[in-house]
Amino acid sequence: MLERAGFRSPRAGFVANRLIADDLPSEHINPQGFAVAAQTIKTWPAYTPSPLHHLSGQAGRLGLGEVFYKDESARFGLGSFKALGGAYAVYALLREKLQLGDGSLLWTDQATRKAAKAITVCCATDGNHGRSVAWGAELFGANCVIFVHETVSQARCEAIAAFGAKVSRVKGNYDDSVREAQRQAEANCWHVVSDTSYQGYIDIPCKVMHGYGLMAQEICDQLAEAPSHVVVQAGVGALAASLCAYFWYRWGTKRPRFVLVEPMLADCYFQSISAGHPVAVTGSLQTIMAGLACGEASPIAWQILSRAADDACVVCEDDVREAMRSLHRGESSDPSVISGETGAAGLALLQASQAMPHLAQALGLDAHSRVLIIGSEGNTDPEIYRAIIHQPPQPRTDYLLEQLHALAQIGLQDDGACSRLALTDQDWMGRDWLVDVMKSLDLNVQIDQIGNLFGIFVGAEPELDPIMTGSHIDTVRTGGRYDGCLGVLAGLEIIRCMQAAGIKPDGPSSCAPSPMTRVHAMDLTCWVLLSLLKPWPSNKPFALWASTAHYSAKNSPGSAMQAHASPVTSKRKHSLNCIWNTGRFSSRRAVKLAWFKGFKGLKGLKAFPGKAWKSLVSLTMLVRPQYLWHSILI
């Protein structure tokens, strides 16, 4: 049984909450506050519940029972759930300051609106909360000043200014803008409307969180029964704590498992739950998930989540991009869903879990799981959204690292070496593992009479000649964990990359990345491998090792070894160059490399002196700089 303590990798991380309690403090966040907020917001002009999508296609793709997606992309026309919290807090503040018995006077009575004009509200924002506060100020007649930090996009600033707010940019990160908003409010007698609490500032953040509770009420009304899991974006914790508390009060002991998700570089809840106390994360907090670029947990939110959230997870940027594209594309019969970067974080975690069995096991995700994810925002920055949706497929080094590491655990020796001799139990365990990976990519898995294993990505014309790329996964102690496995798993990465881009091959030997172009599969292989090499400085040595063979559809898979043992000769001329390894890696002798240009066969090989290249770490040319801590000695 896998311990639920925690782990972290370049792709995703998990930590179990050891502080779970049997009750929640109700002093600040409680059912009465949720009820008052819901009753109020439902009276506002243009209120309508946001939709809850049943994504059966995503569930099938991810090996889950059901996936539900709460779509906040059209909430009050603002593009995010924040419309519920910030605007409600502005309403509550103005009603208190103007001593109004009837809050509707704020949008129906001109004298009341004139009085509200003398009040200025302000806040710090990554974009969405500030837009909600600005909208609420315009709706109810107040003045508004919004503070943004230096990495908030211009499009998000313009969206805020469109509601008549003044936008002020602050140097530093989100937490710096929070402090500047408070300083300016004290100096100018403004009123801060923040979704994060701090010492002496509790009431308004509680109003914000009670406003978010209306989303939870809608979810409960839209679901016939409680889901098994809820995955919610963390940020400062206001949304997550609001939903967590509402579900706690509504479903009691039948409440779902509650999972927090954050970016890798803005992971204050992951760090805090790991440590058992609040931890502030410093630095730029730069992430495409702008709404989650927060380094400090809100104390009121922490009070709830530290006692009631089951797990905290982090996801990488690339999984978020792929989740956005998958939602936009619509899997199987799913509708096309517009999700911004922050909104796709929950699906990104499910994608990572599907590819990382130990993460799925830690989260308790399986074919019976009914998972609710929160689409917290839509297309809040059209330029960024278009750039991500239309981005061509990119190979994922973190995928390769995860898979290579997982395979290396089979046959792992006490000294860290890896041994899976052919036809041993370890070799068969490795092959069984590989079959599972191939099946997760929906490949047609075949094993011939002499034991060769094939994962076939079938195209529209199966009779076309296929391209076979790969190598072997058996290895000896001095061969290293990357040995032939890199050739096999890099080939699977090519297929995963095509699938993520929605590319359906015409046949096993060709694919069509766009309606205008037909690209030979070996071109794609060359492109993927060189894309993986790209982050490594051009003046450093590279080394790749993989074997390729080409076989005809007329031949059985078992004849491939005898049919073509030499490298593939492509019918196209390649302008790209690849490095081909002709020797075996060793930390005790030089690595002999050769220059293999254009897949033109053995005539393209030229000897390369290798006497100076000792102790070469084989994967360094594949990893991005931030992943270099994965040092592997061969």
Domain range summary for the chain, segments of one domain joined by +: 6-39+51-71+222-389, 82-194, 397-627
Q: Per-residue pLDDT averaged across 486-505, rounded?
A: 79
CA–CA dist 62, 55 (Å, integer)? 11
DSSP state of 50: P
Q: Minimum mean pLDDT among 92-106, 281-295, 458-472, 478-492: which range? A: 458-472
| Contact by Cβ (8 Å): 226, 254 | yes
Q: In 10 A of CB 163, how many CB atoms?
A: 19
DSSP codes joined into one string, 76-102 = GGTTBTHHHHHHHHHHHHHHHHTT-S-
The residue written with tokens 């005809």 in the block is 552
Residue 568 has pLDDT above 50, yes or no: no
Residue among 70, 71, 82, 474 flagged as catalytic = 82
State yes or no: is 171 an active-site residue: no
> Which CATH architecture does the domain made up of 82-194 adopt?
3-Layer(aba) Sandwich (3.40)
DSSP-derived secondary structure letter, 478: T
Q: Are 132 and 239 in contact (CB under 8 A)?
A: no
Q: Give alpha helix (H) positions in 279-316.
A: 299-308
Q: Is the pLDDT of residue 29 over 80?
A: yes
The answer to whether residues 228 and 370 touch, using CB atoms and an 8 Å cutoff, is: yes
Mean pLDDT of 41-53: 95
- Return the minimum-mean-pLDDT range out of 185-199, 208-222, 247-261, 454-468: 454-468
Beta strand 120-125 with 143-149 is: parallel
Cα 508-511-515 angle, rounded to 5 deg: 150
**pLDDT of 407 higher than 60:** yes
The mean per-residue pLDDT over the stretch 289-300 comes to 93
Q: What percent of the chain has pLDDT over 90?
A: 52
Kindly report the CA angle at 523 between 521 and 527, in degrees rounded to 5? Answer: 115
Quickly count: other Cβ atoms within 10 Å of residue 31's Cβ: 14
Rounded to whole angstroms, the Cα distance separating 61 from 86 reads: 36
Identify the pLDDT of residue 583: 30
In angstroms, how far is CA 584 from the centroid of its own chain?
A: 37
Q: Which residue has the higher pLDDT, 1 or 210?
A: 210
Q: Do 399 and 355 form a contact (C-beta atoms < 8 A)?
A: yes
Compute the distance between CA of residue 596 and CA of residue 544 in angstroms, rounded to an integer.
11
Q: Which two tokens stand for residue 172?
A: 């530093």
Query: Band of the pLDDT at 393, cuts 50, 70, 90?
Result: low
Q: Are 484 and 402 in contact (CB under 8 A)?
A: no
> 82-194: same fold as 6-39+51-71+222-389?
yes
Contact by Cβ (8 Å): 80, 380: yes
Residue 140: how many CB atoms within 10 A of its CB? 23
pLDDT surpassing 80 at residue 394: no
pLDDT in tens, 526-541: 333 434 433 333 333 3
In the structure encoding, which two tokens stand for residue 13, read together?
């991380």
| Site of tokens 């964990």 | 481
Characterize the bridge pairing of strands 229-233 and 257-263.
parallel
Of the pLDDT bands very low, low, confident and very high (cuts 50, 70, 90), residue 506 is: low
User: Could you give the C-alpha distances from 119 to 97, 98, 115, 184, in angstroms and in order?
Assistant: 9, 10, 8, 14
Distances (CA, A) of 464 to 225, 492, 524: 49, 20, 17
DSSP string, 11-61: SEEEEE-S---S----SSS-HHHHHHHHHHHTTSTT--PPPEEE-HHHHHH
Please state the rounded mean pLDDT for residues 298-318.
96
Q: What is the pLDDT of residues 155-167, one digit of tens each?
A: 999 999 999 999 9
Tokens of 480: 């290293």
- 281 vs 266: CA distance, rounded Å: 7
Q: Which CATH fold would you assign to the domain 6-39+51-71+222-389?
A: Rossmann fold (3.40.50)
> In which band, very low, low, confident or very high, does the pLDDT at 357 lie, cut at 50, 70 and 90?
confident
Known catalytic membership, residue 504: no
> Which of 285-299, 332-346, 441-455 shows the highest mean pLDDT?
332-346
Residue with more model confidence, 616 or 330: 330
pLDDT at 435 over 50: yes
Give the pLDDT of residue 159. Answer: 93
Among 180-184, 391-395, 488-492, which stretch is predicted with the lowest mean pLDDT?
A: 391-395
For 192, the token pair is 């801060």
Q: Say if residue 584's pLDDT is above 60.
A: no
Reported pTM: 0.73
**Residues whose CB falls within 8 Å of the CB of residue 118, separated by 6 or more in sequence, listed in order:** none
| Active-site choice (71, 97, 117, 126) | 126
How does pLDDT run across 81-130, given as a tens digit for each residue? 999 999 999 999 999 999 998 888 898 899 999 999 999 999 999 889 99
188 pLDDT more than 80: yes
**Lowest-pLDDT range, 32-41, 171-180, 337-346, 507-516?**
507-516
Question: Residue 621 in contact with residue 533, Cβ under 8 Å?
Answer: yes
Phi/psi for 296 (5° steps) reads: -135, 135
Determine the longest span between alpha carbons in the chain, in angstroms. 90
Average pLDDT over residues 258-269: 96
d(CA 17, CA 530) in angstroms, rounded, equals 41
Which candidate, 331, 373, 344, places its Cα nearest to that of 52?
Answer: 373
- Provide the mean pLDDT of the chain: 79
Instruction: Please tell me the predicted confidence (pLDDT) of residue 307.
Output: 96
